[in-house]
Structure 1
Amino acid sequence: MIMESRENVEQMGIIFDMDGVIIDSNPLHIKAWRSVFEKENVFISDDDFSNIVSGTTGDTAIRTLLKRELTQDEVNHFNEAVDAEFRRMLTELNVGPVKGLRNFLERMRSAGHRIVVATSAPTKNVDMVMDKLQLREYFEFIIDRTRVTHGKPHPEIYLKTLEQIAIPDYRCVVFEDSLAGVKSAVGAGLRVIGVTTSHSAVELNAIGASLTIKDFDEVSAEHISTLMSTN
């Protein structure tokens, strides 16, 4: 195991997206979206999910997929239906954290770094994932969908995270898997490490990820410090 020491280590802000980063939940999300939208005679392809749905709050995706005028109440209904279906499947299936995550969190916490979450997921989904994986203790705070007006790729969620974590942006790094999420973090002036659970390294690098990993066995504090020291 790679060990990180508190000695001579400048505190960093380690910011995580949730779906596709903390938990490889995208297969469940695809099934949930398809289950709800099949009733509307809308088929969601893998490309549709990656390009329209993944990483966003859902409102824009719902309007785009249905291709008709919707009231906000109608949009909320579809969001809630998808989220409820996701939680139902998560309860029934054995889904774990992304490989190496728990050890990485332990190392970052032991080294004195601040660890937080910035996710487009709603509070109920966040609570279920954190409780199911027993990871809540590692995160100082969580900013979810309910805390922002504009979803990813708008940078609002990461700007709010920076304000709350109170560490300079050049001492923070974001782990993201979606194109919208990478754009959001880069738009807030943050360095991004892309996790290739949803998109290829080429795709993530093309929109601003500074580094990509398959899982958390591939990254250490030294990697992050080196990343922060580059222009």
Structure 2
Amino acid sequence: MINTVIFDMDGVIVDTEPVHHYAYKEHFKQLNIDVSQEMYSSFTGSSTKNIYSRIKEYFNLEQEIEILVRGKRDFFNNAFDKKEDLFLLDGVEDLIKELHSNGMQLVLASSSANETIERIFNRFDLHQYFTFKVSGEDFPQSKPHPAIFLKAAELAQTSVENCIVIEDSTNGIKAANAATIFCVGYKSFHSKLQDYSSADLVIEHFSELSFDKIRTIKNRL
């Protein structure tokens, strides 16, 4: 029986993609590099550190990765703090509250930095619902590597067959698959160029999920 739900954050709990896109775009402009849409789409689900590792190598940039990450993060933080029309995705707060009130353990596993996770959790008062928060910046490899989801299950002290992952990205779904954790692919209108074919279940609204439905999911094992 499922007793732990592992949530991705960007694109699942809150749509920060427009803010991230703005921050990356402004930073790329500052760096005088031209990142194609195809390349940018491939970043979805990766940590900022690993994204800039690729960018540094591809464009032969001289700056250290930590400097590049800080530059993008400064653009993001400034835009995030000023953006008033930023809300939790439709239906996700109700699902989180229902799961929490019924004793389901919730864990966040996001490729975002710890600093960004804290910023979002503070803004939307989400700390009370989640037992653990795991950031992709703490791992050498980003999704689709399964490390972040395996760590989430370990912290939750839950075997992978008793967990599910809710993800919106190709890389996130692949990471869940690699961790042998049942994956719910959240395909919203915010999702762009992502592949949901390997998700175990695909939803388009969180009203399609409930505590009763989730706890009886049969894992792939």
Verify same fold: TM over 0.5.
yes
Alpha-carbon contact 2:145-2:175 (below 8 Å) kept:
yes
- Give the partner amino acid of 2:112: A
Partner of 1:167: 158
Unaligned stretches of 5+ residues in structure 1: 1-9
Alpha-carbon contact 1:153-1:182 (below 8 Å) kept:
yes
The number of residues matched between the two structures is 217
Provide the rounded CA distance (Å) in 2 between the counterparts of 1:139 and 1:168. Answer: 18
Instruction: Report the Cα offset of residue 70 of structure 1.
Output: 5.1
- Which of 160, 170, 187 is the equivalent residue of 1:179? 170
SS in 1 for 2:196: helix
Partner of 1:156: 147
Partner of 1:83: 73
Question: Sequence identity of aligned pairs in percent?
Answer: 26
Partner of 2:191: 198
SS in 2 for 1:39: helix
Does 1:128 pair with 2:119? yes
Provide the rounded CA distance (Å) in 2 between the counterparts of 1:88 and 1:34. Answer: 14
Partner of 1:93: 83
Going from structure 1 to structure 2, the CA distance change for 1:218 and 1:45 (only over 3 Å counts) comes to farther
Worse-matched range after superposition: 83-92 or 58-67:
58-67
Going from structure 1 to structure 2, the CA distance change for 1:70 and 1:192 (only over 3 Å counts) comes to same
Following TM superposition, where does structure 1 have runs of at least 4 consecutive aligned residues deviating by more than 4 angstroms? Answer: none
Instruction: Report the Cα offset of residue 43 of structure 1.
Output: 3.1
Give the root-mean-square deviation of aligned CA atoms: 2.1
Instruction: Report the Cα offset of residue 226 of structure 1.
Output: 4.8
TM-score, with length taken from structure 2: 0.88
Unaligned stretches of 5+ residues in structure 2: none
TM-score, with length taken from structure 1: 0.85
Instruction: Report the Cα offset of residue 230 of structure 1.
Output: 6.4
Deviations 1:61-80 (A, max 9, x none): 32433524457x61111111
